[in-house]
Structure 1
Amino acid sequence: MKYYYIIIFSLLFTSTACTDKKDQKQIQLSDSEEFRKYWFSNKAEISSYDLQQAQYGNINQGEAVMVFVNEDFRLDKQVKLESDAKEIATPVLKLNFIKKFITGIYDYSMYTSVFTPIQTNTFPATLKVSNTNQEWCGQSFLQLNYHQNGYQVIGKSYFEEEVSEECHIDYAILEDELWTKIRLLPLDQLPQGNVLMVPSMTSLRLRHKKVQAEMTKIKLQPYKGDSTFKGKDLMDYQIYFPESQRDLRIIFEKGFPHHIVGWEDTYELRKKKLTSRAVLKATIQNAYWEKNTPADTTYRKLLKLKY
């Protein structure tokens, strides 16, 4: 039983990821000393962004924070490992992605957690995504767990048409895992071309859509835009959703560790086509879980946080 869960999950991923012998020998960034030195330093990478978020037919001011950190993740319960049961766990790159913005008198807080295995050859798919949204009207919750060659979906919401959602969907790439894959995969292994994808949990909630995959068209090219996004040798990761007429662009640095410097998300809502945009303000590496005294608010100043 010692390696039961690792073996079972490996077999499941092998069957669902359509890998061949060539794919199984792909380079893993996690094998490099550079990767391990950066991500296994017992610190998280924390980045803050100025956010302009479209909602209710307007552009609203806000702020986003992305927290990337390595941790051990149980394969059976799909939660953080806090015991000594190392044999049933695998290291993941966890992303906590927070968006806060104000609409008129009241505010939104949207929080997504993504758990993507670092051993990308053994576990090519993300194991879990959870999402919570809070605003003055009410709250919502969504969670996807990798299970039986797909994802088990559980959702609860204040809103009548979204009050409860429980289903199983076939395997598809998750938009929410693109952020972690950018940090984990060589450029030539990032999803490109015609790709079946589940839109992000935040996007689905803002547009009041059900969890289901749709076909996308994806391309990766050097960034050729203006000076809105700043960084070294920027790449422009473009994801187009023809069915929902939505365009997502993720701008990140070509060189390791592939810092994400911003994004744009364009779609129509309430008969208006608007673009949400986030631009990097600051990035630090920090063991934030140890910095919880009033004196530690100085780190918030380093991140230029407002909210």
Structure 2
Amino acid sequence: MRNSTDLAAAVESVVRVFLKMAGGVSPPAPQMKSALVLLSLFLAACSTPTAVRPAAEPKPEKAKIKQPSPYDSEFWKTWSDGQAEVAAYDLIMPKYGQLRRGTAIAITVAESFSKSAMVKADPGKHASSDVFAAIKLNLIRSYQTGIYNYKDMLSAFVALDEVNGRVPGMAAKITYSSQEWCGQVFSELLFSGSTVHQTRHSYFDGEADMQRSLQNAEEALAEDTVMLVARRIGWPRLRLGQRYETQMLTSLEAERSHHERVSYVPAAFTLAKERQTTTVPA
């Protein structure tokens, strides 16, 4: 069973920025820690588990020295088996001026990813040069607002290799969908070098179909990857006591809730100086 006892403390110390936006998983306040449930389970991925290995190191260019990968053998000892980790949370979600209660399920797994198709790469279908290792986070949230039931799903793919000149640990792809009684919404972000490409389909008038590109701020983070940053999987892999200030691309859920396009905002991330361990039932 994977060791996820540090997850609650890490999320609590780093994910505060995430919660300033429209939605997110509420960090476990002291009085709520008994409600937090982490299920460190080994589950098969969506298809037959396939071992994931870091991509072979390409030959360095003469004008550029390739930095060593931040993902060492200990990291791959945990994540290279093709098995998924599942964590269940009590959810507190701000909606229509009130805090709504619900559930959130986070599924985290390493996968091989195709640069050209920007999807999970099936074994043997792509050239090795077209495949890189990625961590996928699926976050599924369900909550009630009166008689309305809301369900949404976020999928965030973080590259574990250098892809398109972006350092390991940065977002490669993010998708978001929302389903409720009025209708449904789907939005996708594809990160290609210095550009972010967005596609959106919505039942709202004026938002029905949209495609646009925006400049990707250098070394910017995506709010939708903050849970992976909290676990020191996503970039930057903060050290204990480290504070990091950067630009952050707001979440697709916030775009949906506020009907405002995703944009870059200043953000600061801090990892507590001392490691804290929380014991939870599993």
Return the TM-score normalized by structure 2: 0.66
Task: Tell me the amino acid that sits aligned with residue 157 of structure 2.
Answer: F
Distance 1:137 1:222 in 2: 42
Give the direction of change, closer, same or farther, for the CA distance of 1:192–1:158 in structure 2 (3 Å limit): farther
Secondary structure of 1:134's match? strand
How far did residue 191 of structure 1 move?
9.4
Matched with 1:275 is none
Larger fraction in helix: 1
Instruction: Say which SS state the counterpart of residue 87 (structure 2) adopts.
Output: strand
Root-mean-square deviation (CA, aligned residues, Å) is 3.1
Q: Which residue matches 1:272?
A: none
User: Structure 2 CA distance, aligned partners of 1:204 and 1:282?
Assistant: 35
Match of 2:253 in 1: 202
Cα drift, residue 113 of structure 1: 0.6
SS at match of 2:225: helix
Matched, 1:76 2:124: no
Q: Percent identity, please.
A: 25
1:219 matched to 2:269? The reply is yes
Q: Residues of 1 paired with 2:85 and 2:176: CA distance? A: 20
Indicate the structure with greater strand content. Answer: 1
1:164 equivalent to 2:209? Answer yes
- Describe how 1:141-156 pairs up with structure 2 within 5 A: 141-147=186-192, 149-156=194-201
Distance in 2 (alpha carbons) for counterparts of 1:211 and 1:132: 15
The aligned counterpart of 1:99 is: 141
CA distance in 2, matches of 1:91, 1:120: 10
Structure 1 Cα separation of the partners of residues 243 and 255 of structure 2? 22
For residues 42 and 123 of structure 1, what CA distance do their matches in structure 2 show?
Answer: 24
**Counterparts of 1:222 and 1:194 in 2: how far apart (Å)?**
15
Q: Secondary structure at the match of 1:187?
A: coil
2:82–2:111: 8 Å Cα contact kept in structure 1? no
Which structure 1 residue ranges, 4+ long, deviate > 3 Å from structure 2?
24-27, 120-123, 188-194, 280-283
User: 1:1-307 to 2 correspondence within 5 Å?
Assistant: 25=67, 28=70, 30-31=71-72, 33-84=73-124, 85=126, 86-119=128-161, 123-124=166-167, 125-147=170-192, 149-172=194-217, 173-181=221-229, 182-184=231-233, 186-188=237-239, 192-214=243-265, 216-222=266-272, 233-234=275-276
Give distance in 2, aligned partners of 1:282 and 1:26: 37
Gaps of 5+ in 1: 1-5, 12-19, 224-231, 235-252, 254-260, 262-279, 284-307
Count of residues paired in the alignment: 212
Q: CA deviation at 1:139?
A: 0.6
Structure 2 residue matching 1:115: 3-state secondary structure: strand
Structure 1 189/160 Cα, relative in aligned 2: closer, same or farther at 3 Å?
farther
Q: TM-score, normalised by structure 1?
A: 0.61
**Which digits, 9 at most, give the CA deviation of each residue in 1:28-77, with x for residues without a partner?**
0x22x221111112211110000111101111110001111001000011
- Indicate the larger mover: 193-202 or 60-69: 193-202
Do 1:195 and 1:218's aligned partners in 2 also have CA atoms closer than 8 Å?
A: yes
Question: CA 1:166 to 1:133, structure 2 compared with 1: closer, same or farther past 3 Å?
Answer: same
* Change over 3 Å in CA distance of 1:219–1:62 after alignment to 2: same
- What letter is aligned with 1:141? F
Q: What SS does the aligned partner of 1:82 have?
A: coil
